[in-house]
Amino acid sequence: MPPQIKLILSLLLLLSILAVTLVLFLDSLPIQLAFFGALTLALLFLKGFKRWLQGFRLMLPFLISLSLVYLMFGVLKIKTQEADPGSISYWLQFGLGRILLFANSVLTFQLFFSLISFDELLSLPLKIGLMKYVILGKILFSNAFNSYQDIGFHQSLIPSQQQSKQRFSQRFKARLAAVLALLFTLSRESRIKGAQIDNRIAACHGGKSGGTGQWYLNLGYVVLVTVATMIIPIPIPGGGFFNFGDVMIVFIGLHAGRRAGALAGGIGSAIADLLLFPLFAPITLLVKGLEGWLSGLGHKSSGLGRFLFPLSGCALMVGGYFLGEWALPQLGKAVAVADLGVNIVQGLVGFVGGRALFEAAKYLDI
């Protein structure tokens, strides 16, 4: 089947399932159960048991923690949507529907990505101006995952990392050091490969070579945010997951400015959400984009601005998720309330870590 037809059909399938499970039959437990079964069977058939199990394992801690939150809501008699005091059975039934809905959104995207491969995207008849993003994106993604593993290996062989007693701050800094090394590696790779692609395009399609290079630097930042978000996906109660994405967003805003911060924060984080927990992707696109933009206001500031703008970016992220999750019927106030504390921690870690990376990066030629 030609790749463009396959892509259109896969997109239609994706949108149809999302429309049925997330909009039309949002509160129907039988429909959610039926789709959960059908999607699981389809993925078992397409990916095989081993790979299906890998995907399910990633989701499982999240689903368990979400169940616990709904149980807690029942125990605390948190008010229902109709403002009645909710019982344990109400919240468990409501929670089961939401858990299935959440699982269905993840499985639907897993199905889509198992139908369409990156190589098929490369064979689409895209204009060269768009295709260059796909080509470089693929190179940077695979490079990022491989490099991060190797960097982690080398840093684990630094003797002070082998000492038996490590303080939390030391472990956190060590993790930041791995992210910083990845940042350095990927920035260099995006510059080298991006310039090569530009030169090739100039030679084969005419036009000038040696542009500003901003497109490939921005793409490198997007990939960095996606990878930093996906590398340490720790599921947390209620929704979302703790990660190093915000650290990277704050850093990119401070280092490269508003535009780069907004693009990398919004698109990079949304891609990670689509690949892991897609229900959050629309909120993420907006909220993290704004977080990057606000952090970027500190780029040309000096002194206090470099603290206040990233801090307000992180605060906006916390508030944005709270309001966004509350407003979305697929998530609701339960998830918003449960997520608040974790997002505050995530925001603080993002601010502290992003600032630390920004200071440390001065010693590297990034």
Q: Applying CB under 8 A, which residues contact another protein? A: 147, 150-151, 153-160, 162-164, 170, 173-174, 176-178, 180-181, 183-185, 356, 359-361, 363-364
Rg, the chain, Cα only: 22
Q: How many CA atoms lie within 13 A of 317 on its CB side?
A: 37
Comparing CA positions, the residue from 336, 335, 331 lying closest to residue 105 is 331
> In the numeric block, which tokens belong to residue 256?
């490269």
Query: Please, which residue, 121 or 360, has the CB nearer to another protein?
Result: 360
Minimum CB distance to another protein, residue 358 (Å): 11
Q: Which is nearer to another protein, 105 or 185 (CB)?
A: 185
Of 6 and 173, CB closest to another protein: 173
How far apart, in whole angstroms, are the C-alpha atoms of residue 362 and residue 180? Answer: 11
Separation between Cα atoms, residue 70 and residue 66, nearest integer Å: 6
Least distance from C-beta 261 to another protein, angstroms? 21
Cβ 358 vs Cβ 176: under 8 Å: no
Listed in sequence order, the residues at least 6 apart from 75 whose beta carbon sits closer than 8 Å to its beta carbon are 88
Q: Three-class SS of residue 256?
A: helix
CB of 183 to another protein, least distance (A): 8
**Looking at beta carbons only, is 123 or 156 nearer to another protein?**
156
| 147 versus 218: smaller Cβ distance to another protein | 147
**What is the per-residue burial (b if ≥16 Cβ within 10 Å, else e) of 43-56?**
beeebeeeebeebb
For another protein, the closer of residues 288 and 355 by Cβ is 355
CB of 57 to another protein, least distance (A): 23
Cβ nearer to another protein, comparing 156 with 199: 156
In the bound complex, what is the minimum distance in angstroms from residue 154's beta carbon to another protein? 4
Closest by CA position to 346, among listed 356, 358, 354? 354
Q: How far is the CB of 189 from another protein (least distance, A)?
A: 11
Query: CA distances (Å), 70 to each of 280, 318, 335, in order?
Result: 19, 21, 9
State in angstroms the smallest separation of the CB of 225 from another protein: 18
Helices (H), 257-331: 258-263, 269-276, 281-296, 305-327
